[in-house]
Structure 1
Amino acid sequence: MRFVRTHWQDHGFFVDPTAYLAELPRLRGVLPPGAWAFASEPGHYDIPGAVRCVKDLELAGIHPATDKSGRLVLEFAPNRFKHDSGLRISYSGVRHFSIDHHHAIDWLRVDTVLLDEILPEEEAGEDGVEGGGCVHEIALTDASITVRCQDLRAEWGSPR
């Protein structure tokens, strides 16, 4: 991730969205509408308080399209100590999807979200792809997910 910081420190994870939050107002009108709505949603980065903060959601499902439609759905279950509901993110026009497993923290039962970052494709990409879209990066406790797509739609309320 370019702006959000996440790493293991002492006996826990250090997470800091400060630089991304400072950059976020500049991305209005640059990010696709669904990506902007999700990234700028009140509480998205309110780590200690908001039930709509992505921190601590548990990766629960990955559903790629079996056709060439470019669809992908990621499902996250709520953390029972923090969230009222889970989150479902539906991606359209997916050009790239990857999961990189780190296998450094083997004592956790499931991978949970540390933080995420959404940037316009042309700013985030090393491949020089232009023409709109975005890159959504999600840092998990023992992996990272990257999705390059046209847009995304995030819906809170997915059941556990």
Structure 2
Amino acid sequence: MKYVELRSEDGGIMFDARRYLEALPSFEKLLPGGARRFATDPDHYDFYNTRCVKDLALERQLFDVDSEKFSLEFAPNVHKHDEGLTVTYVDIRSIEFRMEPAAESVPWRFNVLLDEILPEGGGIRHEFELGGGTLVIEAADLEARWRVV
């Protein structure tokens, strides 16, 4: 990620979105509408808010062949979230999913540590850092919708 920082510290992981939030006003107008609404939502990086992306669990990926849309469905963390999240991307340009090998079954492997949305080629680059890998989607735009599960 370009701005969001994740680093090992004292046996754990330190999460810091401050640099991203400081830089966001300089490029938010370059983000398409759906991505801009999602990225600038004050709850997005508020770790104590039920609509923060941290700790959501990637549950499902869906391709809609007819509409050529790609959706990610995230399950809520029962200790933190009231709702799950669906993020739907239009005009997909690329999807890159890299997972680190796991020596054993790790339940938090697909949990979102943090994400970052940047303008890219007239569209967006949305990067998720997961507990065991990285997911990067480049698309024209996205729609994020919180849903009761």
Asked if Structure 1 and Structure 2 have the same fold, meaning a TM-score greater than 0.5 normalized by the shorter chain, the answer is yes
Q: Would the aligned equivalents of 1:70 and 1:95 in 2 still touch at CA under 8 Å? A: no
Q: Structure 2: 5+ residue runs without aligned partners? A: none
Residue in structure 2 matching 1:142, options 106, 112, 132: 132
**Where does residue 113 of structure 2 map in the other structure?**
114
Q: For residue 38 of structure 1, what is the amino acid of its counterpart?
A: F
Query: 2:36 and 2:103 mapped to 1: Cα distance?
Result: 32
Query: 2:116 and 2:71 mapped to 1: Cα distance?
Result: 17
Summarize the alignment of residues 11-160 of structure 1 with structure 2, pairs less than 5 Å apart.
11-47=11-47, 49-66=48-65, 69-103=67-101, 106-110=104-108, 111-121=110-120, 130=121, 132-159=122-149
**Where does residue 126 of structure 1 map in the other structure?**
none
Query: 1:15 and 1:134 mapped to 2: Cα distance?
Result: 22
- Structure 1 runs of 4+ with >3 Å offset: 7-10, 104-107
Cα 1:82–1:133, aligned 2, differ >3 Å: closer, same or farther?
A: same
State the number of aligned residues. 148
**Where does residue 7 of structure 2 map in the other structure?**
7
SS at 1:151's partner residue?
strand
Cα 1:96–1:30, aligned 2, differ >3 Å: closer, same or farther?
A: same
Q: For residue 136 of structure 2, what is the amino acid of its counterpart?
A: T
Q: Would the aligned equivalents of 2:82 and 2:148 in 1 still touch at CA under 8 Å? A: no
SS at 1:90's partner residue?
strand
Q: Greater shift after overlay, 71-80 or 22-31?
A: 22-31
SS at 1:95's partner residue?
strand
SS at 1:135's partner residue?
strand
Q: For residue 66 of structure 1, what is the amino acid of its counterpart?
A: V
Q: Would the aligned equivalents of 2:6 and 2:13 in 1 still touch at CA under 8 Å? A: yes
Query: 2:137 and 2:68 mapped to 1: Cα distance?
Result: 11
Q: CA deviation at 1:75?
A: 0.4
Q: For residue 62 of structure 2, what is the amino acid of its counterpart?
A: H
Query: 1:158 and 1:89 mapped to 2: Cα distance?
Result: 14
Q: Structure 1: 5+ residue runs without aligned partners? A: 122-129
Calculate percent identity across the aligned residue pairs. Answer: 41
Q: Per-residue displacement from partner, 1:80-139 (whole Å, max 9, x unpaired)?
A: 000001000000010001110012574521410000000000xxxxxxxx3x10100000
TM-score using structure 2 length: 0.92
TM-score using structure 1 length: 0.86
Cα 1:16–1:104, aligned 2, differ >3 Å: closer, same or farther?
A: farther
Cα 1:116–1:106, aligned 2, differ >3 Å: closer, same or farther?
A: farther
Q: CA deviation at 1:7?
A: 3.2
